[in-house]
Amino acid sequence: MKAPAVNRELEELSILFELSQKINISNDLQDILNTILDILSRKMGMTRGTVTLLKPYTDDLVIEAAHGLSYDAKQRGHYKLGEGITGKVAASGKPMVISNINDEPRFLNKTKTRSDLDKKNISFICVPIKVGKETIGALSVDKLFQKDISLDEDLRLLTIISSLLGQAVKIHRAINEERDKLRAEAEKLRSQLSEKFNFTNIIGNSSQMHDVYVQIHQASKGNASILIRGESGTGKELVAHAIHYNSIRSAKPFVKVNCAAIPAELIEAELFGHEKGAFTGAYQQKKGKFELAHSGTIFLDEVGDLSMPTQVKLLRVLQEKEFERVGGVETIKTNFRLISATNKNLETMVKDGVFREDLYYRLNVFSIFLPPLRDRRTDILLLAEHFLKTYAEENNKKINRISTPAIDMMMTYHWPGNVRELENCIERAVLVCDGETIHGHHLPPSLQTSTQREQTEDISFEEKVATYEKDLIIDALKATRGNISKTAEMLHTTVRIVGYKMKQYNIDYKNYR
Ligand SMILES: Nc1ncnc2c1ncn2[C@@H]1O[C@H](COP(=O)(O)OP(=O)(O)OP(=O)(O)O)[C@@H](O)[C@H]1O
C-alpha cells in the first residue's frame, strides 16, 4: 500500500494534469472555471468553491463561477475590494486560511449558503488569483474542519491552481480585447464606408468586400450593363439593389425577374408582355418587365438559365432597346438599365454552345464577383452578429452574445449555402435559444465538424461513406437552393440517383429552399 503522502501527491499531480489539459483545449473561461471547481470538489472534498474576479478598472469583485451555489446565491456575491475575507485577499494579494469559520467575525457569508449548524465544522481557504504582480481576484473553497489534518497542503495546491487560473484569465482577456479591438476597428471602417457609399445593409469588412464596395460605387455612377457573379446566397441581389439605389435611377422602378423560376413557355410574355388573346389564358393585355422597368433598372436573376430562343430576343432588346409584346405588332421603346446575375460559369456555357457569345459580351460589360463566404472568413462574425441583432429584435429576445465555441464552429464550417445559410443558421439559433447566449448546441448539426464527429463517434467504414455521401448531397442542395436537377448536375450524377439517395438518407429538398 502507498503511504498517504504519496497518495496525496499522485492525486495532486492528476488534478494538475487534468486542469492544464482543460486550459489547453478550451477557449471558454466559464467552462475552465467550472471544471476547476468541479475537480476540487470531486477529488479534494473542497465544497462551495468560488472564483471571484475584479471587474476591470473598478474595485468591484464579482463571482464568476461557483460550485454548489444557486443562481440567487451567486448574484448576492458582490464584494468591494478590502471587504470581508475575499475582499481582503484580493486587496492584499495574500492568502488566508480560517480553520473554523464560526470563530471568524470577518466572515460575511454574503451568499447565505451556510446555516449556523453547517458553519461549525467548516474551514475556509482563500487564495489570490494573480496575473504577474497584479491581483485580479480570489479563489476560495470550504473544507470540512478536521482537527488532525493541516490545511497547509490544501493551501499549497490551491496556490498552484490559482496561478494556472491567472494564466487562463490572462489569455481569455487578451482574446477578448483583441476581438473587441477588431470589432471596433471593423465598425469604424464600416461606418466610414457606409458614409462614403451608403450601402448600410451590406455587411462585410473583408478586403474582398471592400473591392466589391468600390465596384458598386463605380457601377452606380454609370449606365453600363452589369453582370454580378458568385455562388448562390453570396448577396448578388443585395448588390443589384445597392447599384440601383445609388444610381440616378433610384427614384424609378427596380424590377426583378427570376429567369429560373419562370417556365420557358412563359418567359417571353413575362419579359416583353402580351396582347389580349395572344395565347390561351391571355384575357387581357399585360405589360412585360422591360416595359415596367422604363427609366429604372431591370434585374435578371439566374440569367444563365435562359433558353436559346429567349436569349435571341433578349439580345435584340439590348441592342435596339425596343421589342414587341407577344402577339403584338406595336414596337415598344424603353429606357432601362440592365443588371443580371448568375452562379453559372457562362464562359463554359458559351464554349458548350448553350449560351450565346454575343449576349455574353452584352451582359458582361462590367462584372462584379462576390466571393464565397468560406473565402472571406473575417466577415463571418460580423454577419453573424448582424443577423443575431436582427432576429433577436424580431423575436423579442434578449440574446446578445455568441459563445466562443459557437464562433469557432462557424469559423471552421465551409458554408456551401453562403450568407443565406449563415442567416438561416442564426435565425434558427435565436428560435431555439432560451438564454442570453448562442451556444454550439443551438447551431445545426451540419456545423459539427467532421473531426468533432470522429472524436465522438466510433463509426464503421460504411457509416463514414454514408455520412460523406449525405454531406455531399446536402451541400449541393444548399448551393442550388433545393433544386434536385441542378444538384444532380453539380454532383455529375442523375436525378434518379439523387432522388434515391435523398430517400435513403431521409433528406427533404424543401428544407434547403
Ligand atoms: N453581405 C451581406 N450582408 C448582409 N446580408 C447579406 C449579405 N449577403 C447576403 N445577405 C443576405 O443573404 C440572403 C441571400 O442573399 P441574396 O439573395 O442577395 O443572394 P444571391 O447571391 O442573390 O443568391 P441566389 O443566387 O441564390 O439568388 C439575403 O437574405 C441577403 O439579405
Q: Measured in angstroms, how far is the CA atom of residue 374 from the centroid of ligand 1? A: 14
Q: Helix H segments across 93-151?
A: 116-119
User: For 299-334, b where at least 16 C-beta lie within 10 A, e where not — what string?
Assistant: bbbbbbbbeeebbebbbebeeeeebbbbebeeebeb
**The pLDDT of residue 455:** 47
Ligand 1 atom nearest to 230, measured from its CA: 21
Cell digits of residue 18: 487534468
Q: Name the residue with the closest Cα to ligand 1, atom 9.
A: 235
**Cβ atoms within 10 Å of 45's Cβ, excluding its own:** 13
**The pLDDT of residue 462:** 82
CA distance 45 to 32: 19
Pick the range with the lowest mean pLDDT from 83-87, 118-122, 307-311. Answer: 118-122
Is the Cβ atom of 416 under 6 angstroms away from ligand 1?
no
**The pLDDT of residue 450:** 46
Pick from 217, 214, 215: nearest CA to 247? 217
Phi and psi (nearest 5°) for 322?
-145, 160
Burial of 48 (0-12, 13-18, 19+ CB in 10 A): buried
Distances (CA, A) of 289 to 8, 267, 272, 300, 376: 82, 10, 6, 10, 35
Which residues lie closer than 8 Å to 503 by C-beta, 6 or more apart? Answer: none
| C-alpha angle 128-129-133 in degrees, rounded to nearest 5 | 95
**The pLDDT of residue 137:** 92
Q: Name the residue of 243, 259, 379, 419 whose CB sits within 8 Å of the most ligand 1 atoms, as the mutation to test its pocket.
A: 419
Over residues 377-387, the mean pLDDT reads 93
Q: Measured in angstroms, how far is the CA atom of residue 192 from the centroid of ligand 1? A: 22
Q: Where are the domains of the chain?
A: 4-176, 202-371, 374-447, 449-513
CA distance 199 to 215: 12
Pick from 370, 368, 367, 440: nearest CA to 204? 370
> Given 3.40.50, 2.70.50, 1.20.1740, 1.10.10, which CATH number is that of 449-513?
1.10.10
Identify any residues that bridge with 61 across adjacent strands, giving them in sequence order: 54, 79
Q: Which DSSP category does 103 fall into?
A: G
Phi and psi (nearest 5°) for 257?
-125, 125
**The pLDDT of residue 118:** 55
CATH topology of domain 4-176: Beta-Lactamase (3.30.450)
Pick the range with the lowest mean pLDDT from 13-22, 210-219, 292-301, 356-365. Answer: 13-22
Pick the range with the lowest mean pLDDT from 220-229, 256-265, 307-316. Answer: 256-265
CA distance 459 to 301: 43
Distances (CA, A) of 257 to 262, 272, 394, 413: 9, 12, 29, 32
**Which tops the pLDDT comparison, 210 or 118?**
210
Identify any residues that bridge with 130 across adjacent strands, giving them in sequence order: 135
Confidence grade of residue 2 (pLDDT, cut at 50, 70, 90): low
Q: Measured in angstroms, how far is the CA atom of residue 232 from the centroid of ligand 1? A: 8
Q: Name the residue with the closest Cα to ligand 1, atom 15.
A: 235
Residue that has been written with the C-alpha cell 454550439 in this structure: 440
CATH topology of domain 374-447: Helicase, Ruva Protein; domain 3 (1.10.8)
Pick from 392, 428, 425: nearest CA to 410? 425
Is the Cβ atom of 231 under 6 angstroms away from ligand 1?
no
Rounded to the nearest 10 degrees, the angle between the axes of helix 378-394 and helix 418-432 is: 40
Cell digits of residue 88: 481582503
Q: Name the residue of 234, 256, 379, 480 whose CB sits within 8 Å of the most ligand 1 atoms, as the mutation to test its pocket.
A: 234
Residue 197 pLDDT greater than 90, yes or no: no
Per-chain mean pLDDT for the chain: 85
**pLDDT cut 90: percent of the chain above it:** 37
CA distance 429 to 436: 11
Over residues 115-144, the mean pLDDT reads 81
Residue 496 pLDDT greater than 80, yes or no: yes
Q: Which DSSP category does 346 fall into?
A: H
Is the Cβ atom of 478 under 6 angstroms away from ligand 1?
no
CA distance 300 to 215: 19
- The region that residue 415 occupies, defined by phi over 0 for left and psi between -120 and 50 for alpha, beta otherwise, is left
Pick from 10, 8, 67, 20: nearest CA to 163? 20
**The pLDDT of residue 109:** 64
CA distance 300 to 297: 10
Confidence grade of residue 124 (pLDDT, cut at 50, 70, 90): confident
Cell digits of residue 112: 447565505
**The pLDDT of residue 146:** 67
**The pLDDT of residue 117:** 46
**pLDDT cut 70: percent of the chain above it:** 88
pLDDT tens for each residue of 305-338: 998 988 998 898 888 888 888 888 888 888 999 9
Identify any residues that bridge with 229 across adjacent strands, giving them in sequence order: 342, 369
Pick the range with the lowest mean pLDDT from 42-46, 100-104, 116-120, 316-320. Answer: 116-120
Over residues 149-174, the mean pLDDT reads 84
ipTM, interface predicted TM-score of the complex: 0.98
CATH topology of domain 202-371: Rossmann fold (3.40.50)
